[in-house]
Structure 1
């Protein structure tokens, strides 16, 4: 027993020694991931990722690894972010703060995130979007603010975000939105502006219609209690006809309130358009003259630079369809003139003036850049005082032709019966209508056995056939037979009493 116990203890000590020697060997920890310096307790840290999601945090951890490019603090109990707390993360590009209880941001809460490109603050308790919230995020591309309590957005909240591509504000309590701040060249990369599922009862049609086409394509307004009117209907109908994604992707979710006092009077007005059947193309659509203009050749056209800017010191410049700048006062030949208020005048319009004109409003310190586009169409004047329908003209021509045919067939004088009285002996029925056989599709018959009749409509004979006094056809004398090398067309002397039958299409039988 003692021998077995001693052997067991010896083997245990030997195993422990082998383990110690193995751990002490070089490279034994090469396969194990190294824990970055300063990783908070309970978080997951890698070379560039720091995830502290679902840790019940009420404050941001004090120690943060400086190598992190992605920081995930979602699904916690954070309610406040202190100033300059991101100073330790100079490489941070993605910050996830969703599903917390953040109600406000201090003036310098995000000022050190100069490299930040993605910010998710969805599902928090934000009540407004102030000017100082995101003004330092010059490289920000995606901003998620959906599912908050936001009731107001400052007009200057997103002006500095020139790199912004996607902005999500759905599922909030917005009653209005500063669309004028999104016009022009402030956001050249913006492709998604989601304002769906809010409390928007009306939108400024003129400001929305003045937005660039790439913003309209991603401007989602569905699931809002918008009041039904012709202006809204015409704008969204034009978007649908242009196949814009903002309308096509949510066609049935675009609703409007038919009666303001009845919350249940929602109508899917892009699917059931009967209530808008009295809306004309121009009624209630103030955006039509601002984005499209039509003028006749030689007339004068004045178009406004609808940039919705209140800067009285702003200067204006138009870009012609040929990509040429037009500034005040205008071009050298005087056909294009720019006024101080930004209006463009086209004098003596010509066909080459057609195209899309873009107006740029530039602020005093080159900080205000807004753009508005107008599609100009040049038409030629209509020739003549009246324009007839093509089908009516064709029908009238057919009736006149048919009447002339009846007159020609039944009212043409013919005295073939008198021709038969002059004949001493009975003659073939074609003798009195020799002239009619000239235009007939069937060639005339002859008495000469040696003469053959061609079945062709165009027949050429050798010599004119002379007519006898008895009305019969006789062959010419031998001295009158011409050389075969010099053929002539058939010439038949017509009876003075049957001249009118020359133009008959059918031989008249006597």
Structure 2
């Protein structure tokens, strides 16, 4: 058996020193690796208080975020410290389980554009009561799962229109008690709004003229959580109508803070009054009434069940008390969003439609009154022309009647003698029946008696004149007949005869 050479190295030292070299190498890796630092640097007994996955470093006089945060941290409370700047490297490792981050009351005035790239799982972020002055573009873009963002009680005066871009899951945004003068309409307006945003508080800012028409067009479940009280609003009747409508619908934004919606009256005094008082002694704004839906024949009409809460189960009932069902043979059809489509409306579609909305927390009933005009939308002009023509005809008739009543030809007060003769002829139509003596006298057709105009002057408005009751009337009679006494009453009756009296 051959022995190994004398100068050949022994294999034993290799087996002995290799494990020590590997151990030394692994130690250096752990020492310099970020994960190793994260698990060993934080002192949970002196710097912060650790309770399971909650790390509370509140009121520790910290000027920067402590390093070495545990990877299992789910809630990190850094409130009431002196952290003035939140840099990009405040956490050098990804905190994949962190969902609550509290940084309120720190005097924070700087946010890095990359401050949240390692905490993308955040659902709750509190940056309230700091010194932030502006929100730059895309600053919150990494936080796609954020649900609540608190920014109240800062000094924010500028908000980039893309600052909240990427917050697809945001539900509540608090921006009150800042210096904002522009209403952030892009957050709630169609096509640009955050789809899940149900509460936006911009109260106690510097907004003077909010976009009333755009706000009024928003769904009720957004307006229910839209707060803009305690702003220096300018008094206007459209502002009153908006909030009065919200109060009638019992929306929380108007119901809970009714007394805190104030505005400045126009004028040099700039007096402050309550918005809900504008319909009384100040601006005499019209009382708000719920608007009705109007439609024309053959038009397609959509009725919306505008509920205070989102995603409620909705049921429609027609004016005939029939429930609208999916797949039914009715002209009304349910749409996926809970609205009601009435195709090719007819006059019998008029009436009150009822929407019953139900959820786990709320039951709501809405009424929509539909008025269907008895003509098509394009035919409205012809109907208007016909109505206009009828109106003109009525006015012309009234004018002709007035002319006939007040502008007739001159009567007896203008031409007394001529008209008196005419009146005597017309008045003879009302002559009384003759007596027996008169009938015997009238048998001789040779003598005709006429009443002189003088006798007409002795009558008063067709009445018997008592002063001439016994006066003798001379008539053309043959000799021997003598005179006949005729009362004034008979003379008066003869005035209303169209034919001469034969005596």
The TM-score, its normalising length taken from structure 1, stands at: 0.51
Aligned to 1:496: none
The answer to whether the 8 Å contact 1:159/1:181 transfers is: no
Aligned to 1:131: 137
Aligned to 1:230: 237
Instruction: Find 2:160's aligned residue among 132, 147, 154.
Output: 154
Pairing 1:95–2:101 present: yes
- Quick one: structure 1 residues 259 and 324, their matched pair in 2 at CA, closer, same or farther if it must change by over 3 Å? closer
Residue 181 of structure 1 and its aligned partner are, at CA, apart by: 3.0
Aligned to 2:333: 322
SS for the counterpart of 1:235 is helix
SS for the counterpart of 1:233 is helix
The answer to whether the 8 Å contact 1:154/1:178 transfers is: no
Task: State the alpha-carbon separation in 2 of the partners of residues 102 and 50 from structure 1.
Answer: 20
Unaligned runs of 5+ in 1: 1-34, 304-319, 337-345, 357-374, 386-510
Give per-residue Cα distances to partners, 1:247-294, cap 9 Å, x unaligned: 11011111011136545x110121564146633368xx9xx98xx641
The answer to whether the 8 Å contact 1:127/1:148 transfers is: yes
Aligned to 2:127: 121
Task: State the alpha-carbon separation in 2 of the partners of residues 201 and 269 from structure 1.
Answer: 13
The answer to whether the 8 Å contact 1:227/1:260 transfers is: no
- Quick one: structure 1 residues 205 and 355, their matched pair in 2 at CA, closer, same or farther if it must change by over 3 Å? farther
Task: State the alpha-carbon separation in 1 of the partners of residues 298 and 97 from structure 2.
Answer: 60
- Quick one: structure 1 residues 214 and 57, their matched pair in 2 at CA, closer, same or farther if it must change by over 3 Å? same
Task: State the alpha-carbon separation in 1 of the partners of residues 333 and 252 from structure 2.
Answer: 29
Instruction: Find 2:264's aligned residue among 245, 248, 257.
Output: 257
Task: State the alpha-carbon separation in 2 of the partners of residues 88 and 325 from structure 1.
Answer: 41
Residue 102 of structure 1 and its aligned partner are, at CA, apart by: 1.8
The answer to whether the 8 Å contact 1:116/1:139 transfers is: yes
Aligned to 1:178: 184
Task: State the alpha-carbon separation in 1 of the partners of residues 334 and 201 from structure 2.
Answer: 32
**Bigger Cα Rg:** 2
Task: State the alpha-carbon separation in 2 of the partners of residues 46 and 121 from structure 1.
Answer: 23
Residue 53 of structure 1 and its aligned partner are, at CA, apart by: 1.2
Task: State the alpha-carbon separation in 1 of the partners of residues 182 and 332 from structure 2.
Answer: 35
Task: State the alpha-carbon separation in 1 of the partners of residues 182 and 124 from structure 2.
Answer: 25
Task: State the alpha-carbon separation in 2 of the partners of residues 84 and 215 from structure 1.
Answer: 37
Aligned to 2:118: 112
- Quick one: structure 1 residues 132 and 349, their matched pair in 2 at CA, closer, same or farther if it must change by over 3 Å? farther
| CA RMSD, Structure 1 to Structure 2 (Å) | 3.7
The answer to whether the 8 Å contact 2:347/2:372 transfers is: no
Instruction: Find 1:193's aligned residue among 185, 191, 200.
Output: 200
SS for the counterpart of 2:243 is helix
Residue 353 of structure 1 and its aligned partner are, at CA, apart by: 11
Q: How does 1:219-368 map to 2 (within 5 A)?
A: 219-259=226-266, 261-263=268-270, 265-271=271-277, 273-275=279-281, 278-280=284-286, 293-296=293-296, 298=297, 322-324=333-335, 351=349
Residue 175 of structure 1 and its aligned partner are, at CA, apart by: 0.6
Residue 130 of structure 1 and its aligned partner are, at CA, apart by: 2.4
Task: State the alpha-carbon separation in 1 of the partners of residues 118 and 269 from structure 2.
Answer: 49
- Quick one: structure 1 residues 321 and 251, their matched pair in 2 at CA, closer, same or farther if it must change by over 3 Å? farther
The TM-score, its normalising length taken from structure 2, stands at: 0.52
Aligned to 1:362: none
The answer to whether the 8 Å contact 1:79/1:101 transfers is: yes
The answer to whether the 8 Å contact 2:86/2:111 transfers is: yes
Task: State the alpha-carbon separation in 2 of the partners of residues 321 and 79 from structure 1.
Answer: 60
Residue 121 of structure 1 and its aligned partner are, at CA, apart by: 0.2
After TM superposition, the structure 1 stretch with the greater mean CA deviation from structure 2, 172-181 or 78-87, is 78-87
After TM superposition, the structure 1 stretch with the greater mean CA deviation from structure 2, 271-280 or 204-213, is 271-280
Unaligned runs of 5+ in 2: 1-37, 303-330, 355-367, 376-386, 388-503
Aligned to 2:452: none
SS for the counterpart of 1:234 is helix
The answer to whether the 8 Å contact 1:84/1:111 transfers is: no
Give per-residue Cα distances to partners, 1:157-187, cap 9 Å, x unaligned: 3342221121111100111122133134743
Task: State the alpha-carbon separation in 2 of the partners of residues 103 and 323 from structure 1.
Answer: 51
Aligned to 1:46: 51
SS for the counterpart of 1:270 is helix
- Quick one: structure 1 residues 37 and 212, their matched pair in 2 at CA, closer, same or farther if it must change by over 3 Å? farther
Residue 84 of structure 1 and its aligned partner are, at CA, apart by: 4.8
